Amino acid sequence: MKTKHTDFILHNVRIMTPGRSDVLGFVHVENGKFREVGEGDVYHSSPSLVVIDGQGHKIAPGFIDMHVHGADGADVMDGTVSSLESIASFHARHGTTGFLPTTLTASLSQLRASMQAARDLQHMSYQGASVLGVHLEGPFIERSKKGAQNPDYIQNPAVDAVATLLDGQMDLVKKITIAPDVPNAVDAIAWLTSHGVIASLGHSDATYACAHQAILAGASHGTHLFNAMRGIHHRDGGLAGACLLHDEVLCELIADGHHVAPEMMQLAFRLKGKDRLALITDAIAATGKPDGEYQLGGLKVSVHGEISLLEDGKTLAGSTLTMDRAVKNMVEQVGVNLSDALYMASATPANALGFGDCKGQIEQGFDADFVVLDEQLRIVATYVDGREIYRQR
């Protein structure tokens, strides 16, 4: 995000970050980064420096969402900068400071338009979460586990097809969801890994053995754990079991209490821990909108409350979740402590995407991407690159 920075001190805040959990302190932000992070309320100021009283609120690293399809009526698949800007602005109001616009299975021209829009927005000044790259969810998926994806555009991941899709986009695309049980998948996973793109296993009916081979080939993420994948059975652990038991695999988790039951979220947390479980929203265009009928990748979706379904009335179609609610759900429904829940929404995805040296923590030298939270974990303010882009009114 290209913009002018403001230097300031935010004091009288309770800092929530590894090593400083709920400690009263202050942060000095300069040129979009944390110049100083200190405990207590003694800080060095100057007449030209803005000083802000945090009123005892908590501050935490900004949330990073690796799986976002839309919000506020806008869809990543619209392929426009204006839609992406709307999505970035909406999710920033819920604490997201960085995200991966996530595509669906679609034509090559549609996918390229969505990728170009993401690239264009990266170089613009706007009021919203930063675009950290793109997540391609498809088209290399298994038909029986397609979920809310258009079957007309599903492809087998021959290396040539993957290379064509990524032509000129290697620096932008951070991860691709791929089913390990379709032809050519293992070769494609090895190719993606060798080119620095994360291969994320999902939308798949893979057995444990099949998933194991894909992980050996370099697959390192699991897309929305338990959803649109073969689950755990006592005779075959399936893809879900493989993702849980391989320590090297990071799992996405839609923590809305509907996609995954609270007890299964607890199981995932116990097996993966905070370092290998990343909270995501899988939010669609209907997020933030009233109940009704919407579109998702050309498919009709019906939204009632927190649940979005395809026309069949049973297939979940993304979510209307936001990252602040995901954090709160992990605390209230699963019993995870707040520090760990915040970590899974910030440091874990930052590390997974290669930003662990500059994002995901409130530490000296890190990007000043952070949120201000009240005691009910409501977002009071969101800062991106040291700029206040949202404040509760």
Q: How far apart are the first and last CA of the chain?
A: 24
User: Are 93 and 119 in contact, with CB atoms under 8 Å apart?
Assistant: no
Query: What number is the average pLDDT over the span 178-196?
Result: 98
Task: Identify whether the C-beta of residue 387 lies closer than 8 Å to the C-beta of residue 62.
Answer: no
**Residues involved in catalysis:** 282
40: domain CATH number is 2.30.40.10
Within this chain, do residues 142 and 46 fall inside the same structural domain, yes or no? no
In a domain, 221, yes or no: yes
Amino acid, single-letter form, for residue 157: P
How far is residue 45's CA from residue 349's CA, in Å, rounded to a whole number? 34
What is the reported pLDDT for 305? 86
Q: Are residues 381 and 333 in the same domain?
A: no
pLDDT in tens, 310-320: 989 989 999 99
Name the one residue in this structure whose structure tokens are 């939010």: 283
Other Cβ atoms less than 10 A from the Cβ of 318: the count is: 31
What percentage of the chain exceeds 90 in pLDDT?
Answer: 90
- Closest among 23, 25, 32, 21 to 11, alpha carbons compared: 25
239 and 381 inside one domain: no
Q: What is the per-residue pLDDT for 4? A: 55
Q: What is the mean pLDDT of the chain?
A: 96
Give the pLDDT band (50/70/90) at residue 5.
low
Position 1 pLDDT exceeds 60: no
Do 273 and 383 fall within a single domain? Answer: no
Q: What is the extent of the structural domain holding 374?
A: 8-60+361-391
Residues 296 and 156 occupy one common structural domain: yes
Residue 1 lies in a domain: no
Burial of 209-239, coded b for 16+ CB within 10 Å and e otherwise, reads: ebbbbbbebbbbbbbbbbbbbbebeeebbbb
Amino acid identity at 239? L
Q: Is residue 327 scored above 50 in pLDDT?
A: yes
The residues that bridge with 60 in the sheet, in sequence order, are 371
- Tell me which of 43-57, 89-103, 155-169, 171-185 is least confident: 43-57
Q: Are residues 115 and 41 in the same domain?
A: no
Q: Work out the pLDDT band at 2, boundaries 50, 70, 90.
A: very low
Residues 192 and 217: their CA atoms lie apart, in Å, by: 10
Does residue 344 form part of some domain? yes
Write down the number of H helices and E strands in the chain.
Answer: 10, 22
Q: Give CA separation, 288 vs 35, 75, 86, 107, in Å.
A: 35, 13, 11, 27
Per-residue pLDDT, averaged over 333-352, amounts to: 98
State the DSSP H helix or E strand holding residue 103, giving kind and residue range, or none if neither: strand 96-103
| Domain membership flag for residue 300 | yes
Report the distance separating Cα 246 and Cα 4, nearest Å: 44
Is residue 3 in a domain? no
Which among 92, 139, 97, 117 has a CA at the least distance from the CA of 349?
A: 97
The encoded tokens of residue 227 equal 């959803």
Buried-state track 106-144, b at ≥16 Cβ within 10 A, e below 16: beeebbbbbbbbbbebbeeebbbbbbbbbbbbbbbbbee
Q: Are residues 182 and 248 in the same domain?
A: yes
Q: Is the pLDDT of residue 154 over 80?
A: yes
Q: What is the pLDDT of residue 332?
A: 98
> Is the domain of 313 the same as that of 374?
no
> Which amino acid is residue 252, in one-letter code?
E
In a domain, 2, yes or no: no
What's the pLDDT band for 6 if we cut at 50, 70, 90? confident
The count of structural domains within the chain is 2
Confidence of residue 48 (pLDDT cuts 50, 70, 90): confident
pLDDT single digits (tens) 115-129: 999 999 999 999 999
